[in-house]
Amino acid sequence: MILVESIHHSRNGKEVLRGVNMSLDRGEVLALLGPNGAGKTTLAKHLNGLLKPTKGRVLVDGIDTRKSSVAELSRKVGYVFQRLERMFFTGRVFDEVAFGPGSLGMDENEVKERVEWALSLVGLKGYENRKPLSLSGGEMRKLAIACVLAMGTDYVILDEPTSDLDGRGFKAVVELVKRLRAEGKGVLLITHDVELALEVSDRVVVLFNGRIAFEGKPEGLLNLNLWEYGLRETRWIELMRRSLIEGH
Ligand X SMILES: Nc1ncnc2c1ncn2[C@@H]1O[C@H](COP(=O)(O)OP(=O)(O)OP(=O)(O)O)[C@@H](O)[C@H]1O
Told to check if 40 binds ligand X by CB under 6 A, we report: yes
**Taking CB under 6 A as the rule, which mask of x and - marks residues 10-29 in contact with ligand X?**
-xx---x-------------
Sign for the CA dihedral angle at 47, 51, 55, 57 comes to positive
- Own/partner contacts of 37-42, CB < 8 Å, gap of 24 or more, are 38/207, 38/208, 38/209, 38/210, 38/230, 39/9, 39/207, 39/209, 39/210, 40/159, 40/190, 40/207, 41/82, 41/159, 41/190, 42/9, 42/11, 42/16, 42/17
* Least separation in angstroms between CB 13 and ligand X: 10
Nearer to ligand X, 12 or 109 (CB): 12
> Which of the stretches 9-17, 104-112, 122-130, 198-206 binds ligand X when contact is defined by CB under 6 A?
9-17
Told to check if 37 binds ligand X by CB under 6 A, we report: yes
Nearer to ligand X, 94 or 208 (CB): 208
Told to check if 46 binds ligand X by CB under 6 A, we report: no
User: Can you say how many angstroms the Cα of residue 131 is from the centroid of all Cα atoms in its chain?
Assistant: 25
* Least separation in angstroms between CB 112 and ligand X: 35
Question: b/e string for 149-160 if b means 16 or more Cβ within 10 A?
Answer: bbbbbbbbbbbb
How far CA 67 is from CA of 49, 53, 64, 178, in Å, comes to 9, 12, 6, 32
> Which of the stretches 36-44, 67-75, 142-150, 165-173 binds ligand X when contact is defined by CB under 6 A?
36-44
Nearer to ligand X, 81 or 155 (CB): 81
Pairwise CA distance, residues 47 & 53, whole Å: 10
Told to check if 85 binds ligand X by CB under 6 A, we report: no
* Least separation in angstroms between CB 87 and ligand X: 16
Binding residue count for ligand X, defined by CB under 6 A: 11
Told to check if 218 binds ligand X by CB under 6 A, we report: no
**Among positions 7, 29, 31, 38, the unique one binding ligand X when judged by CB under 6 A:** 38
Residues binding ligand X (CB under 6 A): 11-12, 16, 34, 36-42
